[in-house]
Amino acid sequence: MRFKLFVYGTLKRGLPNHFYLQNAKYLGKARSLFAYPLVAPKKIYPYLVDSKGEGKIVKGELYEVDLVTLKRIDRLEEVPRYYKRGYIDVADERGKRHRAYTYFVAFPLPYRQFTFLEEFLPPKK
């Protein structure tokens, strides 16, 4: 069984947790069809808030993953304590629409006090 997964943070190519996607099929860059609050209060990783219609269109990457990979990422994201897995509608670079899993922050976060991001880029060292 295969699943589509939209990633917007440290799972993206070139970032620290991308190795979790080593067995995944990269489908390309993608963006959310609707605005969502994406914030990075700690600067080293972001939170996506499940508040459709607020925030900005979010840029990320789309993958096709198997169940083993999805469960491994669930453990990384500490589902359901830290993040929750949910669906998001995205468009790939060709404009094709996809319904994919993503990870939303699972605890109350005063996200309106932070700057909404379009894309997460970690600080340069």
Longest dimension (CA), the chain: 40
- Residue 60 tokens read as 């990320």
Q: Are 49 and 111 in contact (CB under 8 A)?
A: yes
Please state whether 50 falls in left (phi above 0), alpha (psi between -120 and 50) or beta. beta
Told to judge if 119 belongs to the known catalytic residues of this protein, a careful annotator would answer no
Instruction: Note if the bond before 122 is cis, omega within 30 degrees.
Output: no
Catalytic residue among 54, 61, 77, 93: 77
112: CB partners within 8 A, 6+ apart? 37
28: CB partners within 8 A, 6+ apart? 61, 62, 92, 93
List active site positions. 77
